[in-house]
Chain A
Amino acid sequence: MGRKLLIHNDKVPGINTYEVYRAHGGYASVEKALKTMQPDQVTEEVKKSGLRGRGGAGFPTGMKWSFLAKPEGVPRYLVCNADESEPGTFKDRYLMEKIPHALIEGMITSSFALGAKTSYIYIRGEYFYVARIVEKAIAEAYAAGWLGKNILGTDFSHDCYVQVGGGAYICGEETALLESLEGKRGNPRIKPPFPAVAGLWGCPTVVNNVETIAAVVPIVNMGGEEYAKIGVGKSTGTKLISASGHINKPGVYEIELGITVEDFIYSDEYCGGIRNGKKLKAVVAGGSSVPILPTELILRTAKGEPRLMTYESLSDGGFITGTMLGSGGFIAMDEDTSIVKNLFTFSRFYHHESCGQCSPCREGTGWMEKILQKFLNGTANESDVDLLWDIQSKIEGKTICPLGEAAAWPVAAAIRHFKQEFIDIARSKKFVDISHYDRLNKLVRA
């Protein structure tokens, strides 16, 4: 069994209430930080821990914190990005739903490190019930004196607010999130300036993922060096993986970074193998926007080494033969899955979620969806594959925010690894759907 630091208590009855959470050692990190540490020491521990952002990009958290500008007389903010909208990712929801106090504890400790008197938890609109859970937990924390003025009798005061988003994927992009939080249309800002210099209401702001903030709690409790012992190389600690797709045991798993992908898919502790005894065809390892990989490349790198669940190992080989750990949305697909249809679903999503600010993404995402629709209709030509490739290359890297890339990468990877499937459809002029879903649908309809 791997060590669990974030959701080790998730099966304890009533862990979502303050009393039970506190009885299980909750809020110890706040006590430790406020009473025995200086803010910079907390940041130092996070740096030592090697914690990397769990939202997708994997940027070292300690470094991000140390970039925060600290001008005199200007408030600083901590914003928690709980706008978890990446298809295939549902770990933050699990964490907030089961153990909301873990997030709040992390928010207080992190805010202490950053010197933020106010913090915000931006929760996506579709998670409305989660927002209620978190709000209730915040009320409990206020009542118990963990939030408010002079926490634990120190001169550190802190207020934490929940803001519910309108349900736009783009608001998970940190600057769009800040715009939305300010009450504006959620369009990404043009960077620089980065939020660490001018973020929320023009003040220095740190935006962190839910899991990142929750991970600060064990880091402060056990010490950064101890935390860094878990994992491999620069991928330290534990990570929540949202496993979905054609596996026997879908769900949220906390893994120690560094286990092999093969282990993760086939061991009974985690996914428990592919359901119905089918073979694995492909895996999207980190949420819908990271490149899809066929079985042989997800289990082993191009060099033949076993692929590990780490930031480095998954991205080994770049995008030619590798992928990314991303947000940890692990989607496994069995041999009956149509990659073209899957890609269509992803492209439709990105088309729907493009904010419309910059032209390559606004126009290109819709175009790609329409071409993929042609494949599903059986009216596509072979030249459409090249056209798709060309369109994605003209979106990637030319947009304001990473949504353009998120839309382009899946298309590029699907064509790179499964081009024959596209060509077969184009040649035969018909799309035969073999996926479970459709068979199921037919059964239901019959």
Chain B
Amino acid sequence: MKVTIDGIEIDVPKGTTILEAARMIGPEVAPPTMCYYSKLKTSGGYCRTCIVKVTQGSTANPNPMPKPVASCRTEVMDGMVVENTINKEVLEARKGVVEFLLMNHPLDCPICDQAGECHLQDLGYEHGAANTRYEFPRREFEKIDIGKYVQLHMTRCIMCFRCVKVAEQLTDNRVHGVMHRGDAAEISTYIENVIENEFSGNVIDVCPVGALTDKTFRFKSRVWFTKPVDASCDCKKCSGKVRLWLKGNDVLRVTARKDQWGEVEEFICNECRFERKNTADWKIEGPSPIHRSSVISQNHYNHLNELKVQVMKQQKALGFMDINKRP
């Protein structure tokens, strides 16, 4: 099936969504996502950041779709023409969505563990406005400990439902979900029940913001002061392929490996994540690939940094686009 996204044509198999097709073309045209997660079935469609305009439905029916559609949940048709970054209406709508997502977000990035690897930060930086027009008190919740390792801070939650899908699809016993409705809706466990199962830690990785955080890492360090390396071990429960976040020789944190879209490559078990905090437990494979625009790369790859400064100077002199702007 041929589909054209922002003027670039690509051939994709039947059943591919617009978002997947856009990701195949590359990050220049891929819409941002906050709730979609390719590894979790039925995720997506809620946050509306990935909305795009379909200007031609298909070759058979060339009419445009009347409303912008969620690209993560809309399958491509043969001959479909999609506009993402070249459509002003889409960018304006996305700006609106970012404003809605940030409206009740506390913006406590200075004390949030997620800062530096937060998708909402990236999204706000790329698509949001500098100021908020919301002048009312923001929504607040009490922090809840859900189990030994995970803390839930609902105030920061943007209701992406990813953790609910993890609980549904990865673990055998779903104990948390959504309570209440509208802007009072919250992710919660019934009567503050704890989440106890082998894979519960993955809710931390899928959380795009700092609503679910690792209690063994809370307030230990800013992520950009730690150095990510890929490591592995022989684990009976999971693949054992992880990312260690080191400070000197101390393992401050263990997470799953994430791909270019910020999605977990393989889910890992709680033992790997929370219990194996010695470098001796791991076989270190080498430094993790981190996008050069990420704040995490700041302190580790000095030669790259110098190179970047030079390139930036050159580009600025020539009037090119800022390379720091993440595609």
Contact = CB atoms under 8 A, between A and B. Distances in A.
A354 B93 CA distance: 20
A355 B96 contact: no
A363 B183 contact: yes
A364 B102 CA distance: 11
A357 B67 CA distance: 18
B125 interface: no
A317 interface: no
Interface in B80-123: 92-93, 96-97, 99-101, 103-104
Nearest to A168: B181
B143 to A, nearest CB: 20
B93 A358 contact: no
A394 B134 CA distance: 14
A354 B70 CA distance: 19
B38 to A, nearest CB: 16
Given A360-B97, A387-B133, A366 B46 contact: no
A399 interface: yes
Interface size classification for chain B: 20 to 34
B94 to A, nearest CB: 9
Contacts of A387: 133
A175 to B, nearest CB: 12
Contacts of A400: 45-46, 70
A197 to B, nearest CB: 14
Interface string B173-213: 00001101111110000000000000000000000000000
Most chain B beta-carbon contacts within 10 A, residue among A353, A364, A365, A393: A364
Contacts of B70: 190, 400
B47 interface: yes
A395 B181 CA distance: 18
Contacts of B47: 358-359
A355 B182 contact: yes
Interface residues of A, number: 30
Interface in A330-381: 351-360, 362-367, 370
Contact of A398 (B67, B104, B159, B182): B67
Contacts of A397: 66-68
A400 B46 CA distance: 7
A22 interface: no
A364 B51 CA distance: 17
A185 interface: yes
Nearest to A387: B133
B48 A399 contact: yes
A356 B96 contact: no
Nearest to B96: A394
Contacts of B158: 359
A359 B95 CA distance: 12
Contact of A363 (B51, B93, B103, B178): B103
A67 to B, nearest CB: 16
B100 A356 contact: no
24 contacts: A185-B177, A190-B45, A356-B178, A356-B181, A356-B183, A357-B46, A357-B161, A358-B48, A359-B47, A359-B48, A360-B96, A360-B97, A362-B159, A362-B182, A364-B100, A366-B183, A367-B103, A394-B92, A394-B93, A394-B96, A394-B99, A394-B100, A397-B66, A398-B93
Interface of A: 168, 170, 185, 190, 351-360, 362-367, 370, 387, 390, 393-395, 397-400
